[in-house]
Amino acid sequence: MTVLVTGARGAVGSHVRAGLLGAGADVRAAGRDPGQIPDDGGGRVRLDLADPSSFGPALDGVDRVFVYVTGDLTAFARAAATAGVRHAVLLSSESVLTESDPEPGGIAAHHADAEAALRGAGLPVTALRPGAFAGNTGQWSRGSPRGSSNSRSRTRPRRRSTSATSPTSP
């Protein structure tokens, strides 16, 4: 079994790649610049989901794919089905389930279109639909203005200042 992991140097793709390698799978890590993907024993290949000329070499001999969607997957899904891919796992979004009438161009529509493209190409698909990633909260909170409600300001006790008039001072 050869698994193609798209977005292989990203926060999720790098962990998917590491987990598959740890389980003994034959992994092909894909990215627009494979030289930026760590050489961890798996294969590395150029794949740009916006460049159909990169699909053939990336999909050669692959029977499973992990896809992190960045745009329209229609051409890639068709190429994957033609290349003999037997199963796709898509990092999608919970919003596909919670937004009954998704706003065109919004995140729910984006992920629903990706799921439809893979299924429309005849690929069996497992759509992972997380609500949020805890790792992202650190990035979100860095932009919080001081004094806003965040866990740090509520959970740390205030320090008392010591002054010359405190009872413990000489």
Q: Read off the pLDDT of residues 65-81 as tens digits, 9 standing for 90 and up.
A: 999 887 899 999 999 99
Query: How far are the Cα atoms of 59, 121, 148, 170 from residue 117, in angstroms, in the given order?
Result: 17, 6, 41, 76
Residue 160 inside a domain? The answer is no
- pLDDT tens, 83-133? 999 999 999 988 888 888 888 888 889 899 999 999 999 999 999 988 876
Domain encompassing residue 122: 2-128
CATH number for the domain harbouring residue 25: 3.40.50.720
What CA dihedral angle connects 135, 108, 124 and 77, to 10 degrees? -100
Is residue 153 pLDDT above 50, yes or no?
A: no
SS3 of residue 113 by DSSP: helix
Distance CA 121, CA 143 (A): 41
Tokens matching residue 10: 């990203």
Residue 140 lies in a domain: no
Residue 53 lies in a domain: yes
Quick check: is 141 in a domain? Answer: no
Say if residues 73 and 47 touch (Cβ distance below 8 Å). Answer: no
Residue 156, domain member (yes or no): no
As for how many domains the chain has, the answer is 1
What does the angle CA 94 – CA 100 – CA 101 come to, to the nearest 5 degrees? 115
pLDDT tens figures, 159-169: 444 444 434 44
CB 4 within 8 A of CB 62: yes
pLDDT in tens, 10-67: 889 999 999 999 999 999 999 999 999 988 878 999 999 999 999 999 999 999 999 9
For the chain, the residue count is 170
**Cα separation of 170 and 167, whole Å?**
8
